[in-house]
Amino acid sequence: MPSTLWNTREVAAYLNVKESTIRHWVHIGYIPHIKFRGLVRYQQATIDEWLAKCTVGMRRTPKKIAQEILEGRD
């Protein structure tokens, strides 16, 4: 099944950023996009994959932090 194609307004709303931010990201090659006959479009599945790659994990879990506090290390 083909992925949904979004325009700049739709992807900006999805990511909760301004349209100008999306246009800048396209200009610098930061966000995955498709250019077709002068139109810029974004595939929902590709944006979701890109977001997953941007996710940063926690360095220390809350349990580890609590353990360090109890041991006197912070």
Q: What's residue 74's pLDDT?
A: 52
Task: Calculate the dihedral angle through the C-alpha atoms of 10, 22, 52, 5, rounding to the nearest 10 degrees.
Answer: 40
Span 6-58, pLDDT tens digits: 999 999 999 999 999 999 999 999 999 999 899 999 999 999 999 998 877 76
DSSP E strands in 1-74: the ranges are 5-6, 34-36, 39-43
Burial of 30-47, coded b for 16+ CB within 10 Å and e otherwise, reads ebebeeeeeebebbeeeb
State the total domains in the chain.
Answer: 1
d(CA 46, CA 32) in angstroms, rounded, equals 7
pTM, full prediction:
0.71
What is the domain extent for residue 12?
A: 5-70
The CATH number of whichever domain residue 42 belongs to comes to 1.10.1660
